[in-house]
Amino acid sequence: MSEPESVTQSAQRRSAAVRRKTTKAVVILAMLTAMEVVLNRFASINTWNLKIGLSFIPVVLGAMLYGPLGGAVVAGLGDLVGALLFPIGPYFPGFTATALLTGLVFGFFLQKSQKPLGVVLSVAINQLILSLLLNSFWISVLYGSPYFPLLGTRLLQCAVLIPVQIVLILALAPALRRLKTEL
């Protein structure tokens, strides 16, 4: 075999490997997005101003496996698809933007390591800044309810979800790390 042929074959093998890896990532992210939709729309407590559930788990997994972009894709697409197929109220793009930011935050803190400080920081930022402050603002804009009284009712959601998310992420992290090495 001549030198140019072996270089071409080597490049073709690398290209095929990249395509398989990309296809696998798209399939995994699509499955995680579907899980997020199901957990969010059918296995959560949803009211007009509160949402308590486990839909953060597929977002965290996407963030751990594929970084901030993976987390953002799962959270953002999950919110968009869920809102369009199974609406709880009117679609509002602010909630999708918050979902994207949630995935980015989880990815930024959890992609390389799931140490307790990173888990606590990611959950605190997501719950206190994005969910409590930003989503409360979106609810206030969408439904015309006063912002500050709304914060009081949404503190309950944060009080419940912060410890639940921290404990579950730390408990699931070893299994998720093993899964990451297998993928």
Domain ranges for the chain, please list them: 30-182
Q: How far apart are CA 99 and CA 64, in angstroms?
A: 16
Helix 56-85 to helix 93-110 angle, to the nearest 10 degrees? 160
pLDDT at 4: 59
Chain centroid offset of residue 53 CA: 13
| pLDDT recorded at residue 86 | 93
Q: Which residues of the chain have pLDDT under 70?
A: 1-7, 10-12, 14-18, 48
pLDDT of residue 158: 93
Structure confidence at residue 118 (pLDDT):
96
Per-residue pLDDT at 42: 92
Q: Would you state the pLDDT for residue 11?
A: 65
pLDDT given at position 7: 66
Three-state SS string over the chain comes to: CCHHHHHHHHHHHHHHHHHHHHHHHHHHHHHHHHHHHHHHHHCCEECCCCEECCCHHHHHHHHHHHHHHHHHHHHHHHHHHHHHHCCCCCCCHHHHHHHHHHHHHHHHHHCCCCCHHHHHHHHHHHHHHHHHHHHHHHHHHHHCCCHHHHHHHHHHHHHHHHHHHHHHHHHHHHHHHHHHHHC
Q: Which pLDDT score is estimated for 52?
A: 85
pLDDT at position 170: 95
Distance CA 138, CA 160 (A): 21
- CATH fold of 30-182 reads Arp2/3 complex 21 kDa subunit ARPC3 (1.10.1760)
